[in-house]
Structure 1
Amino acid sequence: MDRIAIDRRADILGLIDIQPTFMPGGELAVPDGDAVVAVANRLLADRFDHAFATQDWHPAGHHSFASAHPGRAPFETIRLAYGDQTLWPDHGVQGSPGAALHPALDQAKIELVVRKGFRPAIDSYSAFFENDRTTATGLAGYLKERGFRRIFFAGLATDFCVAYSAEDAVRAGFAAVVVEDACRGIGMPAEGGGTTIDAARRRLKALGVRFVTTAALG
């Protein structure tokens, strides 16, 4: 695999939803999700001078929760005003321990925290847009004003919030790189076969997103 030289002025590490709610024992656990903390900390210590983080930050009763729809179960899909919505277990509830950034995550270089999904009627996977695809978080403008040109992504989950964030980064004009060993995915069955992780990789590679491991970062 080709090595990628880190430009410490123009590159930034995006830490996506590294929260206990998505880790073993959490409300919406990603398999092996807690493993990303140590890898992210190594990247912060050795490779990057700048980072931002995102947090799922849902009010109780959020419209993406299955519990908000009587008779519905987690992981069913319903149609909302902005399109298809997967229903999730209650997770990332504002002020809960699970919604905090993981306590072992080194936050010294995190310069901005983007809280997403706080609007009761709109879910949010991407660091850049809510799921209606028109409500912006303001992250793109912030990063451009700071002079960043390339975003490296780590966190949870590869096939949802990491993937949507990387996709929107490209569409906003940034180069995007997914650090695979710093991410973990849910891996739900996907239409057409395979898993949602496979589908996300295909979609992102078609957009020019690169997939690397930490060993390739110089």
Structure 2
Amino acid sequence: MEGGNAVAEAIGTFVQQYGDQYALIVTTQDWHIEPGPHWSEQPDYVDTWPVHGKAGTPNAQLHPAIAALGLDHHIKKGQYCAAYSGFEGIEDNTDDVPTREQVQAHASQTLEQLLRDHDITSVDIMGIALSHCVRDTALDAQRLGFETRVYTDLSVPVSVELGEQAVQRMAQSGITLLEGDEYVD
């Protein structure tokens, strides 16, 4: 995705600079095994995509700038469905490719449960893609009662138009949108 490397590197720098101000830092990542029609040979880049985030491949790994942070909690999503929201994934700190049964057996290890177990009440979200995964994760966080902020300049959309639509939808939902020197109070 255009701009993805730069955003990942900026996020890595952000976490190095401000990470100690957070009680918990969690990554989310596509870890697709058989996501159904989410993968398409003729993708529309709105609901269908070329093969990406294929579990167990280098393409599904965290960007090196994020992996180098040595974080302890990783949510993997979309094993058997599209799963744009991080709240649709499960905590998995391995590179294993789980079966459908293994994913279902670990359904209690969700992002929501991880946040609640650590008494987290507010979340800051950034990443790829602002127009899809960041948006849906933020909307779910807000719906679940977490105070939610999104760093728009530490996120990149699939397209400018879809990014603008996502920002508008998040703002209308009461999500705080930040950029630049507004990062950490």
SS in 2 for 1:66: coil
Matched-pair identity in %: 26
CA distance in 2, matches of 1:111, 1:197: 30
Residue in structure 1 matching 2:79, options 97, 118, 121: 118
Do the aligned partners of residues 199 and 76 (structure 1) sit closer, same or farther apart at CA in structure 2, a change above 3 Å counting?
closer
Structure 1 runs of 4+ with >6 Å offset: none
Judge conservation of contact 2:53–2:59 (CA < 8 Å) in 1.
yes
User: Alpha-carbon deviations, 1:87-132, whole Å to 9, x = none?
Assistant: 211111111111100122255462311110101xx211001137xx
Residue 121 of structure 2 is aligned to residue 152 of structure 1: no
SS in 2 for 1:180: strand
**What CA RMSD, in Å, does the superposition of the two structures yield over aligned residues?**
2.2
Do the aligned partners of residues 196 and 148 (structure 1) sit closer, same or farther apart at CA in structure 2, a change above 3 Å counting?
same
> TM-score by structure 2 length?
0.80
What is the CA-CA distance between 1:154 and the residue it aligns to?
A: 1.3
Give the structure 2 partner of residue 46 of structure 1.
17
Q: Which segments of 5 or more consecutive residues in structure 2 lack a partner in the other structure?
A: 90-106
Residue in structure 1 matching 2:31, options 22, 43, 57: 57
> TM-score by structure 1 length?
0.68
Q: Radius of gyration: which is bigger?
A: 1
Judge conservation of contact 1:51–1:109 (CA < 8 Å) in 2.
no
Q: Could you say which structure has the higher strand fraction?
A: 1
Judge conservation of contact 1:128–1:137 (CA < 8 Å) in 2.
no
Residue in structure 2 matching 1:95, options 56, 59, 69: 56
What is the CA-CA distance between 1:38 and the residue it aligns to?
A: 2.4
Q: Could you say which structure has the higher helix fraction?
A: 2
